[in-house]
Amino acid sequence: MSKKFRYAITFFIVLILGGTIGFYIMKNQTKSLSPEETITYRHDNLKVNVFYNRPYKKEREIFGNLVPYNKVWRTGANEATTFKVNQDIMVDGSLLEAGEYTLWTIPNKDSWKVIFNKKMYAWGIDLTTEDAARDPNYDALTIEVPARKKLNVTEQFTIYFDRQQEMHMLFLTWDKTFIAIPFNKSRSVDTTTEV
């Protein structure tokens, strides 16, 4: 084995190790700015888990600026937000099968598109382009819901569940904007899976 070949192999090993270590250092530093959270919602035999990272407003203008309008957002910070459900559900009247999805949104002033994508991603953005890492070929469901304003400011991006009458609701809120995503159990054959 020639010296040049050994140097090339050593260089590539150092490059790969350096990149991996750098990625984990960056990941740990961003967690302090946008801590991660997992929320679980249960009703009868329905179970839904959402994992996401929670950035702060910090006096910034959020929607239309930090989070641009009409552009795919990872719906939080750091990793892509994940949505896991143990049985088929109807999301705003459309079927979403039991399973694990990444949750993406396209905010606009009056409405948001909400996208459930079948692919899991290591990070919420492509680090070379800084665009959302979502591959639209894996979209399982896209719905559009109204964007609503509120009087008080939500400082830290928040996702939570609530039940209103006979409907389950998934809320996303940050700054003075929120959306509500209605869902309910599917009337089809029970396909409960482990979540």
Pick from 23-27, 35-39, 149-153: least confident = 23-27
Give the pLDDT score at 114: 98
**What is the average pLDDT value for the chain, to the nearest integer?**
86
Question: What pLDDT digit, counting tens, does each position of 148-170 carry?
Answer: 999 999 999 999 999 988 899 99
Torsion of CA 11, 17, 22, 27, to 10 degrees: 150
> Using an 8 Å Cβ cutoff, are 153 and 176 in contact?
yes
> Using an 8 Å Cβ cutoff, are 53 and 98 in contact?
no
pLDDT > 90: percent of the chain: 69
Taking alpha carbons only, the member of 108, 128, 125 closest to residue 68 is: 108
Distance CA 185, CA 12 (A): 51
Cβ atoms < 10 Å from Cβ of 117: 24
Give the pLDDT score at 11: 55
Indicate if the alpha-carbon torsion angle 131, 136, 141, 147 is positive or negative: positive
DSSP of 18-71, one letter per residue?
Answer: HHHHHHHHHHHHHHHHS-EEEEEEEETTEEEEEEEE--B-TT--TBTTTB-TTS
Q: Locate tokens 């249960």: which residue? A: 42
Measure the CA angle with vertex 123, ends 120 and 128; round to 5°. 125
pTM of this prediction?
0.80
Give the pLDDT score at 192: 55
User: Who has greater pLDDT, 94 or 8?
Assistant: 94
Give the pLDDT band (50/70/90) at residue 87: very high
pLDDT at 38 over 80: yes
